[in-house]
Amino acid sequence: MSDRPTILGIADSTHYLVGGTDLKNDFNALPALGDVAICHSLSAAKTLLKEHNIFSAQLTLQTAYDEMCGLPPSSATNETIHF
């Protein structure tokens, strides 16, 4: 698999996006899912990946607040999670 399974959370969002991150750090659909999935909880995102025999993912948390205030964007927080 060339894409790293990724769960993307955005500050103040009510959902998580589930997809993959490629070697260029672009977020896109995982071939196993066919499209970027929207899950309403982190638990649901993990369950979706487990249903496709994926048992670890990069959890990426982002915020747009710095950009909204005219500051340079802050880097995303990344952590590998196993489930």
- pTM, to two decimals: 0.84
pLDDT of residue 47: 98
Q: List the domain boundaries for the chain.
A: 4-82
Q: What are phi and psi of 52, to 5 degrees?
A: -110, 25
The whole-number pLDDT of residue 19 equals 97
Give residue 79's pLDDT band: very low, low, confident or very high (50, 70, 90).
very high
pLDDT in tens, 7-45: 999 888 899 999 999 999 899 999 999 999 999 999 999
Mean pLDDT score of the chain: 89
